[in-house]
Amino acid sequence: MAGLLQPDAGHVIAATHGDPQALRRQQVYIGHANALKDDLTAFEALGFLARLHGRESSPAAVMSALRRLAMDHRCHAMVRTLSQGQRRRVALARLALERVAGLWLLDEPFDALDAAGVQAVEGLLEEHLARGGGVLLTSHVPPTLPVRPVRQLVLDTERRA
């Protein structure tokens, strides 16, 4: 779905209205790896990712996004000094910069997060769904989004009745 690999079989068909690159520009992919540079501060790393993906990257927007994931107090810390959970929060702060109702592709977004981090990410997911966006995520921790219907595809055949 993210376009990183070619499928072995089948097709991915996306309906676009006019511009075939519109879907790609509106898509957000956050993989299992956080894609943060160890030699940057949390603030710099998020700003770099925002610019790289053509998103709002003003200092105020970056700080607001870090605040949404409770990482503003660590904004000047080098990424290499952050815990795994803190790194995940910085990576997921990209979602707080999104304003377009596109498709979010998230690989294990709740990995290494504590309960407060999971709650913050679920809040971002709710806001995104409310504005008409879509989310496709993989997770060992099912999201608890009571307002929206969630479709689950369970790939573990041992768990089926």
CATH number at residue 140: 3.40.50.300
Split at pLDDT 50, 70, 90, the class of 139 is confident
Please provide residue 106's backbone torsions phi and psi, each rounded to the nearest 5 degrees. Answer: -125, 125
pLDDT tens by residue, 10-32: 876 666 566 666 666 788 999 99
> How far, CA to CA in Å, does 38 sit from each of 34, 51, 70?
11, 17, 19
pTM higher than 0.75 for the full model?
yes
Q: Is residue 16 part of a domain?
A: no
Domains in the chain, number: 1
Helix ranges (H only) for the chain are: 22-26, 42-52, 59-68, 84-92, 115-130
- The radius of gyration computed from the CA coordinates of the chain, to the nearest angstrom, equals 16
Q: Is residue 12 part of a domain?
A: no
Q: Is residue 113 part of a domain?
A: yes
Domain extent at residue 61: 22-159
Percentage of the chain lying above the pLDDT 90 cut:
60
**Residue 100 contacts residue 27 (beta carbons within 8 Å):** no
pLDDT tens by residue, 144-159: 776 556 666 676 666 5
